[in-house]
Structure 1
Amino acid sequence: MSEEEKVEEYNKYKEYASNFDDVPGYSNYMKIILSGLAMMILLVFYHSLRQRVFMDTERLQIDLLNEKRFISVERPNDYENDSKLYKVSFDLKTKEFYSLNYAVRSKKTYGQNRWTAKEIYVSWINKTITPILLNLKVSKKKILESNYVIELELELLLDKEKLENPKSGDIESYYVYFKMSKVRITYNKEFLPIKLEGYYEKNGKMSWSVLRVYSYPFKSKEEFDNEMDKAIENIQEHEAEIEGN
């Protein structure tokens, strides 16, 4: 199409559009449409801005886990064999948990009498969820940009009080006794941690090994309580056997 033809076509559309100026209420109608479009654009922009801020904001990992409420954690029974995992499940809202040998429900302990319910719950939170996730702040943007796997230097994430005399299974014991220098956290599409690995000396060489496996199997308090009932029943049967002997 030549320049002259383009000008002629433009003038046709312009003349066609001008015909609507005489239609009663047309101008007001167009103003309403344009105002609505402007409002829609502003809403889309506002939503996009909020989403960006949401993705960029660093949050403590334990806060995200608290929102999820129910979490199960598996950890190795020993340093050399990370295929044998010991499972613990938590209700982070009611501060209850159960494992194969211990449980806390309604401020009552099962499987031991030395500590209060609060003491044993805090101890197991630290031991299983680990100070790494309790102290770590990370944004969803960083997780996304790292393809759901982030690698961190270890020193700033440890419980300094435990470094002097770490107990078996504590994350700090890997650092003190096995030269663990860094950790790697894998996330799911909900930005929740599903695996914690450590780079430490194992079988005479440095390698990545599983430290914790995190899962979210419970969708309700009822599901959690049903499994907890079974665990407590097993613990009580075991205690009765010991007392009987």
Structure 2
Amino acid sequence: MKDLKEDPEKFRAYFRLSPELFSQLLIKVTPKIEKIHTNMREPISPEERLAICLRFLATGDSFATIGFNYRVGNSTTGKIVAEVTQAIWDVLQPEYMPEPTTDDWVAIARAFEQRWNFPNCIGALDGKHVVLQAPPASGSKFYNYKGSHSIVLLAVVDANYMFTVIDVGGYGRNSDGGILSESPLGKHLKAGTLGIPGDTPLQGAEEKGPMPYVLVADEAFPLQRHIMRPYPGRQLPRVKRCYNYPLITAVSQ
């Protein structure tokens, strides 16, 4: 992705949909973005609405630039981007990012043990700050500890770096742990409604009894029944360093 960011034309080409994919996506979102025809004037077509949204997502151009190219106002462009983005998520989320089932968690844990040597692990959890220009009258909500303004992408990935759960939009000033507690993921974890499998003994340590399945995370997250974080500090005894190594490796990779 680094080369794409350094070459704007290559970046645009990378995200350009083929006519076939555009048509397939258009069929899915049209019922959600099509506007009613009136006697006053013709509404903007679903094709143009989708094109405006994809242009924004692919290039990051301003609403003014995109609106000028499509001959629509700035506020209209912003409204179209918001509506169509939500429609794309609504129609594609059940197909491409469905809520994991208990069987899914078990399969993910099996892959984590095989690839990262960490048993009973159902995902790696972390937050990513996405830098933005502070919205008007937002105060310090988006101002983060790095000295910039951002929203936070909170995500869980499986053993192959694929997203399984995401939460987007946390204020940059909030900690990862605070964002997790207010997110649907955190609330499901607390309520025990995430479909996490029941406790299972670890291979080679059956005498310790059944152990819970966990998400691995860094020090920014609280230690919970289903969240494991590394031991803090640098001068750690060998047994703690041996425990930290596969956990930190799984999170950082």
| TM bracket (short chain) | under 0.3
Of structures 1 and 2, the larger Rg is shown by 1
The TM-score normalised by the length of structure 1 is 0.25
Q: TM-score, normalised by structure 2?
A: 0.25
